[in-house]
Structure 1
């Protein structure tokens, strides 16, 4: 049986202890505990742009806020999970994959400008508990942030406003025998009154829930997704468990 552990650099404090501590951008509720950015956290290397994915001239039609299930990212190795901080203890649940400007058709703006040097460590630290992977932060800024914002600080500030304004449903409370794409879609809509049910795109990987992609207008108002909803309501899904210590399995990572 594999033992559970929390890396020394990443501290999870009991929620009860946070009552006397003033909240900061570096601390947030995670799995009934308080996430605090590791002391030795550092940025990822500057992202190298894949030239065959550049689509700088595609107009933005709407936005997506991609909310991923961290244990699935860790078990699959997709979407740039951080093995040391995000995956070693596997205590994160829903985390932010990214804020994505989308085009009107199947082509979307990507890599709209040179991303520049590594994201400043202060920015990485401020948003770690929302997006607990320096590599993912660097990728999202390069691939998506450059298509609507002048700096990583502006991009992640807008992402954080949307993330903080979103009520995250308790997906683990859904009985396994009732876990479908429709049940997850219902959970997001119920947790966020006024958010349209057809504004929740469900992405899966081989029968596992991967992430919910929430659709917003260009001025960040919830809207129906104009290009489908992903997995159909009836599709049965599995939810990767939290609390199983371990890193990212071998294999290539895929961009998001």
Structure 2
């Protein structure tokens, strides 16, 4: 009986001991997600209260690059240790035309860019290249009035503008009733590919609001 009790205790102890997760390592990832945020939605939810420049009337800001995120086939790395120098304030600010602000560019480097294995300059260049390759549908350019439409229609518009995209290679996210982001999955050399299952979570609403561009 004592021997059985000892064996059960050992088995219970082993089940409670969870191996420590391996630290995320720079350059070790499988693919990228390019995240394009709909600026008017972000401005209403967050940017207006911060007096963010990208929300100024007349700026005509529609989609901005939220980030270029290294991904695993399941999950993603973040906050990786890196020996590369952080970008300067000037380097980060030079991304504001694409990302809305230098502050976002620096934050994305800190959280995601260090995991790419690239230098800050290389990561920003890859981000700009990925954004250049992703064509924004003309129907959303300078949107002059609020519209409400199904997330699948937004996907259709991007697939039409980017024929190499597949239905599983793009996902639309929402925040409350508003469009939040369009996310496009890319290989490490920035070619379209299908997203892993955990990155395919589309907005579940029947329709989303796209507020007009300011």
Q: Once the two structures are superposed, what CA deviation does each residue of 1:1-24 show, in whole Å capped at 9, x if it has no partner?
A: xxxxxxxxxxxxxxxxxxxxxxxx
1-structure distance, mates of 2:95, 2:64: 11
Structure having the higher Rg: 2
2:202 matched to which residue of 1?
A: 231
- Deviation, structure 1 residue 110: 0.1
1:161 matched to which residue of 2?
A: 129
Aligned length: 186
- Deviation, structure 1 residue 56: 1.8
- Deviation, structure 1 residue 149: 3.3
2-structure distance, mates of 1:129, 1:231: 27
1:151 matched to which residue of 2?
A: 119
- Deviation, structure 1 residue 197: 2.6
Give the SS at the match of 2:209: coil
- Deviation, structure 1 residue 180: 0.9
CA contact (8 A) 2:145 2:213 kept: no
Residue 54 (structure 2) aligned to one of 86, 92, 116: 86
Residue 150 (structure 2) aligned to one of 171, 175, 180: 180
Q: Once the two structures are superposed, what CA deviation does each residue of 1:138-159 show, in whole Å capped at 9, x if it has no partner?
A: 1100000000134221101011
State the TM-score, normalized to the length of structure 1: 0.64
2-structure distance, mates of 1:216, 1:71: 25
1-structure distance, mates of 2:83, 2:62: 29
- Deviation, structure 1 residue 238: 0.7
Residue 66 (structure 1) aligned to one of 35, 38, 41: 35
Q: Which runs of 5+ in 2 are unaligned?
A: 1-21
Q: Which runs of 5+ in 1 are unaligned?
A: 1-53, 244-256
2-structure distance, mates of 1:189, 1:112: 33
1:97 matched to which residue of 2?
A: 66
2-structure distance, mates of 1:220, 1:232: 24
- Deviation, structure 1 residue 176: 2.9
Q: CA RMSD in A?
A: 2.8
